[in-house]
Amino acid sequence: MDRITPEFLTLSDRRLAYHQRLGKAGSPGVIFCSGYASNMLGTKAEFLDQRCAESGLSFLRFDYQGHGQSSGNFTDGTIGDWFEDASIVFERLTEGPQILIGSSMGGWIALMLALKQPERARAFIGVAAAPDFTEELFLPGLTTAELAQLEQEGVVCRKASPPDVPLPVTKKLVEEARKHLLLRGPISVTCPVRLLHGIQDADVPWRHALRIADIVPHGDVRIVLVKNGGHRLSRPQDLELLWQAAEEFI
Portion of the chain with pLDDT greater than 70, in percent: 96
| Residue 104 bears catalytic tag | yes
CB–CB of 96/63 below 8 Å? Answer: no
pLDDT in tens, 158-186: 876 565 678 899 999 999 999 999 999 99
Q: How many residues does the chain have?
A: 250
Whole-number Å distance between alpha carbons of 70 and 16: 5
Whole-number Å distance between alpha carbons of 54 and 1: 15
What integer pLDDT is reported at residue 162 of this predicted model? Answer: 61
Taking residues 102-111, report their average pLDDT.
Answer: 98
CB–CB of 26/33 below 8 Å? Answer: no
Candidates 49, 63, 132, 201; catalytic one:
201
pLDDT in tens, 135-146: 999 999 999 999
What integer pLDDT is reported at residue 2 of this predicted model? Answer: 44
| Counts for the chain of helices (H) and strands (E), in that order | 8, 10
What integer pLDDT is reported at residue 4 of this predicted model? Answer: 62
Whole-number Å distance between alpha carbons of 136 and 20: 33
Secondary structure of residue 89 in the 3-state scheme: helix
Candidates 34, 70, 103, 104; catalytic one:
104
Give the CA angle between residues 38, 44, 49 to the nearest 5°. 115
Candidates 67, 197, 208, 231; catalytic one:
231
Q: Which residue has the higher pLDDT, 163 or 241?
A: 241
Local structure of residue 140 (DSSP, 8 states): G
Q: Which residues pair with 8 in a beta bridge?
A: 17
| Residue 19 bears catalytic tag | no
Whole-number Å distance between alpha carbons of 205 and 214: 15
What integer pLDDT is reported at residue 166 of this predicted model? Answer: 83
pLDDT in tens, 39-74: 999 999 999 999 999 999 999 999 999 999 999 999
pTM of the model: 0.96
- Domains parsed from the chain with CATH numbers: 16-131+183-247 (3.40.50.1820)
